[in-house]
Amino acid sequence: MKDYIQIDEWKIIEEGFDPHHNKISESIFSLGNGRMGQRANFEEAYSGDTLQGNYIAGVYYPDKTRVGWWKNGYPEYFAKVLNAANWIGIDIAIDGEQLDLAKCEVTGFRRELNMKDGYLKRNFTAKTAKGKEVEVEAVRFCSMADDESGAIKYTLTPLNFSGTVTVTPFIDGDVVNKDSNYDEKFWDQVKKETWAACGYIQMRTKKTGFEVATGMEFSIFQNGQQIPTNAQPVEKEKYVAVKNELRVTQGQSTTIIKYAANLSSQNHNAADLANELKNTLSRISGKGFDTMLAEQASAWAEKWKHNDIIIEGDASAQQAIRFNIFQLNQTYTGEDDRLNIGPKGFTGEKYGGSTYWDTEAYCVPFYLSTADQKVTRNLLLYRYKQLGKAIDNAKLLGFDNGAALYPMVTMDGAECHNEWEITFEEIHRNGAIAYAIFNYVRYTADEAYLADYGLEVLIAIARFWSQRVNWSDDKQQYVMLGVTGPNEYENNVNNNWYTSKLATWCMQYTMDVAAKVKAAEPEKYTTLVNSINFKEAEETARFRDIIEKMYLPYDDKLQVFLQQDGYLDKEQILVKDLPATERPINQKWSWDRILRSCYIKQADVLQGIYFFEDQYDMETIRRNFDFYEPRTVHESSLSPCVHSILAAKLGDEARAYEFYLRTARLDLDDYNNDTEDGCHITSMAGTWMAVVEGFGGMRVRDGKLSFQPFLPGKWQSFSFNIGFRGTFIKVIVSRDTVKVNHLSGPDINLLIRECECYLKAGSATVVKTTTVTVEAPEPPADLDIA
């Protein structure tokens, strides 16, 4: 754990330059706009330890899989998001000596991520080996308003000399991924050009053939005046640069403004890329840096209006939750249904930028409440569009009749994961995809989605489950053999409760939706049934039979759901009795030892209870929580949020807060010593869930929002903004009251601590948490809103 990040409610601040922290900070201070993302690498040269990263959403490379023992059904490749051409580079030479912070004495270093307005600022003073001192301020952002663009304002002031400074803004396409199986270079140059103070390079990915044109236009100012550049193009393979020799005077600043854009053939014709890039560059440079920055601030203000969580009385928690919300918004903006959310977003290469079940299980609730419903709809459509590949994937594994197995890891719908226990066994991901459809519809009431897309996906998923189970003569029940649950510290187990429960739920939900669509949209239903050859009577009879006779392991003595057959045969030593020196077990123990132990990597049975809490009474939830929590090591960052929400539900406020703390500052404090690889973006959504669903106790029931809030002891109050079916509200939880302000949209009916509250536009309601007094307008007699 580190604690070098300064606390500030709206900013992430690093003071002082410590090269050991550099890669961590490069992740934390990353910028993105949903379309492109950039690690906080330096503009000028840096020969120290760094992980360069400019990622273009959806542009990937199928890296050949390296495995020792090939198994039928393994995917051939692991798609990974690519480090694309460096657009931020500005090489600086001071009287011929390259500015490189790894070779300078650095003072006054400060990096500041302004989350309110969406930009990164870096200041430092550097003394070169030859004793030249310069002061630098660099401000940059990835524009939310022009999401293929970014801009940099780089100001350099000589402190103890007058002389020549050579400024060379460049675009470097000769880049690599650190994580490449065969140390391959993934890009070929298509073309490049430099002219005046501009240049671009167009690169094509090997195999996938994506083309990306990355270009720049810059201007240089001294004494507030733009100066003519004596630009000299630099010729090098996969590289364009324009060199400018400038006379500089001690104490006088030189400012370089660099506009840049990354345009990809995903969104433009490859043949038009160069022209469109030139148009984009002249459009953004025409706006100017200050206008772009002002647009950036208003785009972020709009986001914060819907997203912000305010915590009073704990600046560190305030900073952390805003950081999480900020990063989620930088990662996915929801305009494009071909894009998704990698567990590290745009902040690093780990997990290859690919899509995991994290999206459906953890990110969907965040986007549902904080963004327009089309954002989540696009996440669902992403899977809908990949249904064909999920069906192919299931075929490859021996399933038929249009059964679909969605991949554990994917970029374009094809499976990328190549460890048998995950690829073939961690099939619960299929259920999360169905659950996200349920969650979306319950939240938005967009039932049309079911007829148009959802039902088709659900039937394919239900078909998979109905084939994946088998009848056990011995048990006279259906069983599900050879699976891995969310707890990856158990492989190839029989009858993982969570997976089997989810499978039966999927089949039931599919039948419910089918009946609903059949009644509401009979024509669409018939068309679908015919196109996928759904033999309703026969297939639903099998679903029903499985639901009725599914074996869901349960221990009568403990009265808990059993994680899987045989779980109780394991030596039951609780986590509290494990010496701290043995943890994390995934770093200290052999895999064999982990598999034989009772330790649970992440919520498994409890994940199921979280999903289906309405089916269980408090005592059941408590018994399962009390049994599984002490055996859980939380070695996935996705785990503590689920435990936090359940602890809150059980009224254990202290523990709810304790679990929340485990991920709230996970990256800011580099808890796991792995932030240098990138930030844990999907678990950030879990942290949001812990606040809103845990402390706020928010749920959607019968088409209504309900809240069961409590205030963590250390906080004076907290509030969060929520959008629900066109209405925006602010929920403010303080020591004695819960107040809900109606911000905009139609009237809304809510439940606050079981009290019905009817909230008219512009009004507020206050519920006293102790006496439960409702001060709110009476609902009209003909009330008919959800």
Binding site for ligand BGC (CB under 6 A): 343, 351, 356-358, 486, 488, 601-602, 636, 638, 682
Give the contacts of 109 (CB within 8 A, at least 6 positions apart): 14, 15, 16, 17, 122, 123, 124
Token pair listed for 485: 């649950």
Q: Least separation, in Å, of the C-beta of 639 and ligand BGC?
A: 8
Catalytic residue among 211, 349, 488, 676: 488
Q: Least separation, in Å, of the C-beta of 683 and ligand BGC?
A: 7
| CB nearer ligand BGC, residue 26 or residue 488 | 488
**Eight-state DSSP code of residue 272:** G
Q: What is the spatial distance between Cα 514 and Cα 537, in angstroms, rounded to a whole number?
A: 12
| CB nearer ligand BGC, residue 390 or residue 752 | 390
Q: Least separation, in Å, of the C-beta of 10 and ligand BGC?
A: 28
| CB nearer ligand BGC, residue 337 or residue 421 | 421
| CB nearer ligand BGC, residue 342 or residue 697 | 342
Token pair listed for 389: 């590949």
Q: Reduce the DSSP state of residue 674 to 3 states and report it.
A: coil
| CB nearer ligand BGC, residue 112 or residue 604 | 604
In contact, 563 and 491? CB cutoff 8 Å: no
| CB nearer ligand BGC, residue 645 or residue 757 | 645
431: phi then psi, degrees, rounded to nearest 5: -70, -35
Distances (CA, A) of 126 to 134, 158, 246, 728: 6, 10, 19, 49
| CB nearer ligand BGC, residue 332 or residue 351 | 351
- Rounding to the nearest 10 degrees, give the CA dihedral for residues 329, 330, 335, 337: -100
488 a catalytic residue: yes
Q: What is the spatial distance between Cα 516 and Cα 523, in angstroms, rounded to a whole number?
A: 13
| CB nearer ligand BGC, residue 486 or residue 608 | 486
Rounded to 5, what percent of the chain is helix, strand, coil? 35, 25, 35
Residue nearest to ligand BGC (CB): 343
Q: Least separation, in Å, of the C-beta of 357 and ligand BGC?
A: 6
What is the pairing mode between strands 748-752 and 704-707? Answer: parallel
| CB nearer ligand BGC, residue 432 or residue 698 | 432
The b/e string for 181-216 (b: 16+ C-beta within 10 A; e otherwise) is eeeeebbeebebbbeebbbbbbbbbeebebbbbbbb
In contact, 368 and 698? CB cutoff 8 Å: no
- Other C-beta atoms within 10 Å of 315: how many? 12
- 343 Cα distance to chain centroid: 5
| CB nearer ligand BGC, residue 217 or residue 604 | 604
Stated as kind and residue range, the H or E segment containing 274 is helix 273-287
Beta strands in 69-118 (DSSP E): 77-83, 90-94, 97-98, 105-114
Distances (CA, A) of 320 to 484, 536, 544, 662, 668: 33, 50, 46, 11, 7
Token pair listed for 16: 């002082």
Q: What is the spatial distance between Cα 740 and Cα 743, in angstroms, rounded to a whole number?
A: 9
Q: What is the spatial distance between Cα 270 and Cα 276, in angstroms, rounded to a whole number?
A: 10
Q: How many residues in the chain?
A: 786
Stated as kind and residue range, the H or E segment containing 188 is strand 187-195
| CB nearer ligand BGC, residue 278 or residue 428 | 428
Beta sheet of 717-724, edge-to-edge order: 309-312, 717-724, 727-734, 737-744, 764-768, 774-775
- Other C-beta atoms within 10 Å of 588: how many? 13
| CB nearer ligand BGC, residue 25 or residue 682 | 682
In three state form, how does the secondary structure of 356-392 look?
A: CCHHHHHHHHHHHHHCCHHHHHHHHHHHHHCHHHHHH
Token pair listed for 555: 């221990």
Q: Least separation, in Å, of the C-beta of 332 and ligand BGC?
A: 15
Q: Least separation, in Å, of the C-beta of 635 and ligand BGC?
A: 8
578: phi then psi, degrees, rounded to nearest 5: -90, 125
Q: Least separation, in Å, of the C-beta of 662 and ligand BGC?
A: 15
Q: Least separation, in Å, of the C-beta of 496 and ligand BGC?
A: 13
| CB nearer ligand BGC, residue 75 or residue 343 | 343
Residue type, 305: K
In contact, 587 and 605? CB cutoff 8 Å: no
Q: Reduce the DSSP state of residue 145 to 3 states and report it.
A: coil
Query: For residue 530, with 0-12 CB atoms within 10 Å meaning exposed, 13-18 middle and 19 or more buried, which class applies?
Result: exposed
Q: What is the spatial distance between Cα 323 and Cα 318, in angstroms, rounded to a whole number?
A: 9
Q: Least separation, in Å, of the C-beta of 602 and ligand BGC?
A: 6
Token pair listed for 600: 């649970």
Residue type, 196: A
In contact, 151 and 257? CB cutoff 8 Å: yes
**Eight-state DSSP code of residue 632:** B
Q: Which residues are catalytically annotated?
A: 488
